[in-house]
Chain A
C-alpha cells in the first residue's frame, strides 16, 4: 500500500505534465495550422487520425463488452459493467481530442449539425460516435444512481450496443467507400474495423484490469476476478485469431493481385519495417501475441496475458497507422508532378504530442473515475 501511496501522486504528476504539454501543443497547432504535421497533399491523414481511429474503435469494443451484462444479462459480468461503460466514455473522449486536433478548423464543426450531409460516411461517423458518447454518459449516470435494470436503463444499454456495432462500420466506410483507393478493400474495411474494435477494446480492458488490480490491491485477483479474466482472455484469443486470419488473407490478396493500385501499394515503405509482406507491427503486435495466447501455460499466467494484451493494444495503433498511410503513399493524378513517386512518413513532434494529449485525457479520466466514481458497483441482487 505504501508503494501505491507514493505511486499515485507521481502518476498524477505525470498525467498533469502530459495534459499541460498536450494543451499547449493543441493551442499551438490551432494557431500555426497543420503545417506542423508531417502531412502533405499526398499523405493527407497521418498519426492524429490513426490515434482517433484506434481510440474510437477501442471505445466501441469496450461498449460491446459492456453489452454482455447490460444487454445479454450475463450476471457474472455485472460487477464489470459500470467500469466498462466508464472506460468506453474515457477512451472515446481521448479519441475526440485526437480528431479535434486533426480537423483544420474545429470551430466550424457547428456546421456538421447545421448542414448535415446524409450521404457522407464522415458525417455518419461523427453523428454516431457523438450519439454513442451521449448514450454512454446517460447510461453511466443511471448506473451511478443505482438504476441498472429499469426499462429506460435497459434501453440505453441496447442503444449503446447497437451504436457500438454501427460506429466501427462507419469508420471503415470512410475508407471503403473511396472508389479511387482500391487498397482499402472497399466494404471489407468496415468488417476489419469492427473486428479491430473488439480486439483492441478487449486488450485494453484486460490490461486495465490487470494493471489496476495490481496497483490497488497489490495482490492477485480473487477467484471471481480470475474467472472473468479467463473469459476475457478467451475472447481476446478468439478475436486475435480471426484478425490474424483476416490479415493473412488480405496480405495474400495484396500480393497476388495485378490491379495497378496494388502494384504501387507494394512499394510502400513500412513505418515500422517489415519481414516479407508482413509489417513488423503485424508480426509482433498480432501474430506473436496470438501464438502466446494459444499456449495454455502462457494464457494462464498473469504476466503472459499482460504481455499479450499490451502487444495487441500497441500493435493495434501501429496497424491502424500503417493501413492509413499505405493507402495514401503515392500521389494521385497530377500531384505526381510535385511529389516523389512514393512519399515517406515519420510523425513530427507535434503529431506525437496529439497522441500524448489524447492518451493523457483518457488516462486522467480513468484515474479520476476509478478514485471517485465507484466503478465496481454492481446492481443489488
Chain B
C-alpha cells in the first residue's frame, strides 16, 4: 500500500495560483472556502522588503489532530495515508477545524454556491439569473460542476458540515495525479509514494533539506517544502561594526 505525500519546490513556485484555481474547479469548492491556499510572509524593513509564498493544503498528517478529535470518525485515515472526511457522518461540531494547526479545514456556514442560487439577473433585462443558467445547463450547484468529484465525497458539500483537501482521492483511484499537481505550470508540486525509496518524492527529500509546517507539534505532516524562491543577489561581505 502506498503512502502518499507531496513535495512543493518553492524555487519553482512563482505564486501564480493555478493550483488553487484548478482545485476549485476540480472539487467544486465554493467561494470563501480554500482547499488549496497560500501563506504570504513579508520579511525585512522598508526599503529592504520582500514577500514569500508558501502554498498550503491539507497536510494529510500521520498523527492528524482532526482525526483524533472527530467524535464520529467522520474525519478518518485511509491506509494510503489520506485524511478523508465522510460528510454523512459529520455532525458539524467543527472540532476538526478548531483542532487543525494548519488552518486548512473550512465549515459550510450556509447552503453552498450562494452566487449561483441567486434569482436576480446579472444585468437586468439583458442576462439570465445565475440560477436560471445553472438550470439551463442541467447542472447541480454551479454551471461548471465537476461530477467526477462524486463517489468518494459529496459533489457539493451541504451546509452544516466541514470540508477540506483530499489529495484528489477520486483522481488517485484512476491513477491520475491530484489536479493541483497536474495544473502547476512550473512543476513545483511533486506527488508520489513516500514509502517507495525510488519515487520522485523520496529522491527529492533525500537530495534537499526539506521542512514541514509546524513540525514541532508532532503531527507528522506529509506535505514537504524544499528550496526557496529568491532571485536576489548580494555582494559578498562580512558585515561590519
Partner of B103, one of A39, A104, A123, A334: A334
Given A332-B100, A333-B104: A122 in contact with B110 (beta carbons within 8 A):
no
Partner of A41, one of B102, B107, B218: B107
Q: Could you tell me if B110 and A103 are in contact, using CB atoms closer than 8 angstroms?
A: no
Q: How far is the CB of B153 from chain A (nearest CB, A)?
A: 16
Complex interface bits, B200-240 against A, C-beta within 8 A gives 1, otherwise 0: 00000000000001100111000000000000000000000
Q: How far is the CB of A159 from chain B (nearest CB, A)?
A: 23
Complex interface bits, B44-79 against A, C-beta within 8 A gives 1, otherwise 0: 000000000000100000000100111111100000
Partner of A177, one of B69, B90, B102: B69
Partner of B34, one of A116, A122, A126, A334: A334
Q: Could you tell me if A328 and B71 are in contact, using CB atoms closer than 8 angstroms?
A: no
Q: Could you tell me if A112 and B65 are in contact, using CB atoms closer than 8 angstroms?
A: no
Residues from 178 to 212 in A contacting B, C-beta threshold 8 Å: 178-181
Please classify how large the interface on chain A is, using the bins under 10, 10 to 19, 20 to 34, 35 or more.
35 or more
Does any Cβ of A come within 8 Å of B94's Cβ? yes
A39 CA to B109 CA in the complex, in Å? 9
Partner of A334, one of B56, B74, B89, B214: B56
Could you say which residues of chain A place their CB within 8 Å of the CB of B103?
331-336
Q: Could you tell me if A328 and B98 are in contact, using CB atoms closer than 8 angstroms?
A: yes
Q: How far is the CB of B50 from chain A (nearest CB, A)?
A: 17
Could you say which residues of chain A place their CB within 8 Å of the CB of B218?
179
Could you say which residues of chain A place their CB within 8 Å of the CB of B108?
33, 104
A117 CA to B110 CA in the complex, in Å? 27
Q: Could you tell me if B69 and A122 are in contact, using CB atoms closer than 8 angstroms?
A: yes
Does more than half of chain B's interface fall in helix, strand or loop, or is it mixed? loop
Please classify how large the interface on chain B is, using the bins under 10, 10 to 19, 20 to 34, 35 or more.
35 or more
Could you say which residues of chain B place their CB within 8 Å of the CB of A109?
91
Partner of A333, one of B65, B71, B101: B101
Name the CB-closest residue of A to B65.
A179
Given A44-B98, A111-B72: A333 in contact with B111 (beta carbons within 8 A):
no
Could you say which residues of chain B place their CB within 8 Å of the CB of A180?
65, 99-101, 214, 217
Name the CB-closest residue of B to A126.
B71
A112 CA to B74 CA in the complex, in Å? 10
- Among the listed stretches B21-29, B35-43, B116-124, which one makes contact with chain A, having 4 or more residues with CB under 8 Å of it? B35-43
Could you say which residues of chain A place their CB within 8 Å of the CB of B34?
334, 337-338
Could you say which residues of chain A place their CB within 8 Å of the CB of B97?
41, 44
Residues from 113 to 128 in A contacting B, C-beta threshold 8 Å: 115-117, 119-123, 126
Does any Cβ of B come within 8 Å of A245's Cβ? no
Complex interface bits, B150-173 against A, C-beta within 8 A gives 1, otherwise 0: 000000000111000000000000
Could you say which residues of chain A place their CB within 8 Å of the CB of B100?
180, 332
Given A40-B109, A180-B100: A106 in contact with B73 (beta carbons within 8 A):
no
Q: How far is the CB of A55 from chain B (nearest CB, A)?
A: 17
Does any Cβ of A come within 8 Å of B144's Cβ? no
Residues from 138 to 179 in A contacting B, C-beta threshold 8 Å: 174, 177-179
Q: Could you tell me if B99 and A178 are in contact, using CB atoms closer than 8 angstroms?
A: yes
Q: How far is the CB of B219 from chain A (nearest CB, A)?
A: 7
Q: Could you tell me if A332 and B102 are in contact, using CB atoms closer than 8 angstroms?
A: yes
Q: Could you tell me if A104 and B98 are in contact, using CB atoms closer than 8 angstroms?
A: no
Could you say which residues of chain A place their CB within 8 Å of the CB of B72?
108, 111-112, 115-117, 123
Q: How far is the CB of B100 from chain A (nearest CB, A)?
A: 7
Residues of B within 8 A of A (CB): 32, 34, 37-40, 56, 65, 68-74, 88-95, 97-104, 106-111, 159-161, 213-214, 217-219
Residues of A within 8 A of B (CB): 32-35, 37, 39-41, 44-45, 102-106, 108-109, 111-112, 115-117, 119-123, 126, 174, 177-181, 328, 331-338
